[in-house]
């Protein structure tokens, strides 16, 4: 095996560590120096509702196709929203609310 030469601290300049911090940079401002003022955090916008396809809705409700489409026809399952001429979906929040109602016994499929 060949030995790798080791570098010593003397070969690495440490001049950047000895410099004063930039007082004008916002991250270097001491919060304790300005009492009562906290940095403002930007609020992230809420994520849009996911769109679920029929297979995912059936999986979350724990039912098969026959009961699923019969429930849509009877009105016990919300009607789908049309995406295109050939595809439909359900908003995730609508299905999550339906699942919660079923769990609490307020809704029966």
Name the percent of the chain in helix, strand, coil, to the closest 5. Answer: 40, 5, 55
Is the pLDDT at 46 greater than 90? The verdict is: no
CA gap 14, 73 in Å, rounded = 74
| DSSP H or E segment with residue 66 | helix 65-74
Q: Do the beta carbons of residue 91 and residue 49 sit within 8 Å?
A: yes
DSSP-assigned letters across all residues of 25-42: SGGGS-GGGSTT--PPPP
Supply 1's token pair: 């095996």
Q: What is the pLDDT of residues 75-97, one digit of tens each?
A: 999 999 999 999 999 999 999 99
Q: Are 106 and 67 in contact (CB under 8 A)?
A: no
Confidence of residue 24 (pLDDT cuts 50, 70, 90): low
């Amino acid at each position: 095996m060949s030995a790798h030469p080791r570098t010593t601290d003397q070969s690495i300049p440490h001049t950047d560590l000895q410099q004063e911090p930039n007082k004008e940079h916002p991250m270097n401002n001491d919060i304790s120096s300005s009492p009562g003022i906290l940095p403002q955090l930007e609020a992230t916008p809420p994520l849009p509702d996911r769109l679920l396809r029929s297979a995912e809705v059936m999986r979350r409700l724990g039912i098969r196709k026959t009961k699923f489409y019969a429930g849509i026809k009877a009105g016990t399952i919300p009607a789908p929203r049309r995406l295109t001429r050939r595809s439909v979906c359900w908003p995730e929040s609508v299905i999550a609310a339906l699942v919660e109602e079923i769990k609490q016994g307020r809704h029966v499929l």
